[in-house]
Structure 1
Amino acid sequence: MSESTETIFNKIIRREIPADIVYEDDLAIAFKDIHPQAPVHILIIPKKPIKSLVQAQAEDINLMGHLLLTARRVALQAGLNNGYRVVINTDDDGGQTVNHIHLHLLGGRQMTWPPG
C-alpha cells in the first residue's frame, strides 16, 4: 500500500482548507495552483494517497491513466486549445514539494524547453 503522510492535499480533499476546485470525480480532484507558473496552472491529484510516482504500484494503473485523462478533460475545460504541458515532479531531485503525487497542468503561453 502506497501511503503519504498528512499533506495539504489531504486537507483539500477533505475540504478542511479552501481551494479553487475546477473539477472533481470519485478518484481525483483538480484545483488552481496558488503559486502559478503559467497563466493556467492546475494541480490534478488522486484522492488515494500515493506519496510519489516512485510509490505507484501495478494496482494503480487505472488510477494513473485516469489522472492523465482528467488532465486532458481539465485542459479542454480551461480552453487550452493551442496545447499545454503536464508535469509530474518526483521526489526531491525532481522538485516535488508535497508528498502526494500530483500532475501540474500548465498552459496559456508558449512552453519552453528545457523546463528547468
Structure 2
Amino acid sequence: MARSLDGLVLAPVADQAPGQVGTRTRFTYHEKDGEIWAEYAGGDVVRGYLVGGREGDRLDFRYVQLKRDGTTSSGHCVSAVTELSDGRVRLEESWAWESQTGRGTSVVEQVPDEVVEQVTEHAP
C-alpha cells in the first residue's frame, strides 16, 4: 500500500472541461483510519470538498463543489493510489457527475514541497 495521503497537496496534471477542476486547483488531503477527506479550490472552483474511504490503494469518495459562477455540482470518484519514481503520490481517477451529465478520467499528482512552500508564502 502507498503511503498515507494525510497532509499532502495534489494537483491535476491537465485541465478538464471549462468550469471544472483544472491545473490551478489544489487538493489538500487528510487520512485517518481508512477515512479520506479533502478541501480543494482554485481555477473555476471557489470551494470544494470530498469525503470517502480508502481500502488498500483504492479510494472511493463523493465530492461537491461551488464554482465562481455560483453554481454547485457533485459526483462520485474512484481512484487508484500509486507512487511515482520520485516518491510523490499519483491518483488515477474515474469520476462521474451525479448532479449533471458527464463522466471521465483524470490524474492528480502530489505537488513538490518546494512548490507548496512558494504558494503558501504568496497566499493572501
Task: Identify whether the pair has TM-score above 0.5, normalized to the shorter chain.
Answer: no
Q: Answer 1 or 2: higher relative contact order, Cα 8 Å, separation at least 6.
A: 1
Which structure has more strand as a fraction of its residues?
2
TM-score of the pair, normalised by structure 1: 0.33
